Amino acid sequence: MKITVERAELLKSLSHVYRVVERRNTIPILSNVLIRADKGQLSMKATDLDLEVTDSIAAEVAPGGATTVPAHMFYDIVRKLPDGSQIVIEGSGERAVLTIRAGRSRFTLQTLPESDFPDLAAGEMSHSFKVPAADFKRLIDKTQFAISTEETRYYLNGIYLHAAGSAKTATLRAVATDGHRLAQVELPLPEGAAGMPGIIIPRKTVAEVQRLIESGEGDIAIELSAGKIRFSIGNVVLISKLIDGTFPDYGRVIPANNDKNLVVDKKDFEAAVDRVSTVSSERGRAVKLSITGGRLVLSVTNPDSGSATEELEVDYESDPLDIGFNSRYLLDIAAQIEGEVAVLKLADAGSPTLIQDKDAKGALYVLMPMRV
């Protein structure tokens, strides 16, 4: 096998693939990337048995062949080679090594046979549709922060993607929650997605798809079944297992009749919360919101280090209210608001609060209060 390829092309392609490989592996072959060269194409594949990414680029191939090499080491070698260099990759069937040459540099890597490399068979996909990359990236960006990291509630360790809405206004909806906060974003239902099963896309897969949609141009082809999902983004194909579990009935926690509307300037509010939370302790990051008339007073008291308050002018016409939130969670949600004005729909100090963009564009956030 002999492959000649340009460094920048190889590096870009490898960067799509190698991240899937875990640094520590008990199964040696999972530390490797599969390299297959054939008919002017070089394709590379990596997997962690739950997720598989394949990318292919044009290369000079004569003769073809396939082998596997340590992914992180291969990536580091290519990354450190001089910019603009031509890389020649050669492998011989008899000796289990792969030689990488560029200019005066020469590396020899141990290989493992390609036949040992696992294949994540996608199987039959029941639904397939296309979504503009920018729209899908927004769907992920605006919900990813709320994914739970608690392994015990594994069914919350991903984004719940499903068809929702009515027949007139059918939507593709993404929901993520960790029990303290919830994010829900939707976009018009793409053709072919009607009747799709509700699926939970794992956190690692979500992060990989987010990285692969670099430019946000073009469309993403999505194919899915009850157990697997396949994303095709340009030349890159990502196949992932889905979380086998039932996502909770999140509709029950979205408040429908919160009647106290607090309207704030998003930038001012975000900056003020950030400032007063400087004195909060790591454990209890509570910030208290005291609202009366057109005034909002943000305050934090930390018995160990001191206190902070800041006053903002706001629009609020209901009864006075004191309510506490985790400042980190409040900042996470504020960062997702796209417009200049945010609306907090409150009920009382013990009930969930609904947070939206004033010009709500299919996104809403729910935050549980804290005792202060």
Ordered DSSP codes for 90-144? EE-SSSSEEEEEETTEEEEEE-B-GGGS--------SEEEEEEHHHHHHHHHTTG
Residue 263: which pLDDT band, with cuts at 50, 70 and 90?
very high
Residue 214: which pLDDT band, with cuts at 50, 70 and 90?
confident
**CB atoms closer than 10 angstroms to residue 156:** 23
Phi-psi region of 216 (alpha: psi -120 to 50; beta: other; left: phi over 0): left
pLDDT of residue 40: 93
Sign of CA dihedral 265, 186, 17, 55: negative
Q: Is the pLDDT of residue 99 over 70?
A: yes
Q: Where are the alpha helices (DSSP H) in 244-361?
A: 266-276, 327-336
For residues 54 and 44, what is the distance between their CA atoms, to the nearest angstrom? 6
Least confidently predicted of 68-77, 118-127, 239-248, 279-288? 279-288
Q: Is the pLDDT of residue 281 over 80?
A: no
pLDDT of residue 84: 93
pLDDT of residue 252: 94
Confidence (pTM): 0.92
Burial of residue 3 (number of CB atoms within 10 Å: 0-12, 13-18, 19+): buried
Structural domains of the chain in order of their starting residue, each with its CATH number:
2-116 (3.10.150.10), 127-252 (3.10.150.10), 260-367 (3.10.150.10)
Six-digit token string for 367: 């935050």
pLDDT of residue 284: 67
Burial of residue 91 (number of CB atoms within 10 Å: 0-12, 13-18, 19+): buried
**CB proximity list for 121: less than 8 A, separation 6 or greater:** none
pLDDT of residue 287: 95
- Please choose, from the candidates 170, 174, 175, the residue with its C-alpha nearest in 3D space to the C-alpha of residue 188: 170
The amino acid that residue 254 corresponds to is I
Average pLDDT over residues 199-208: 97
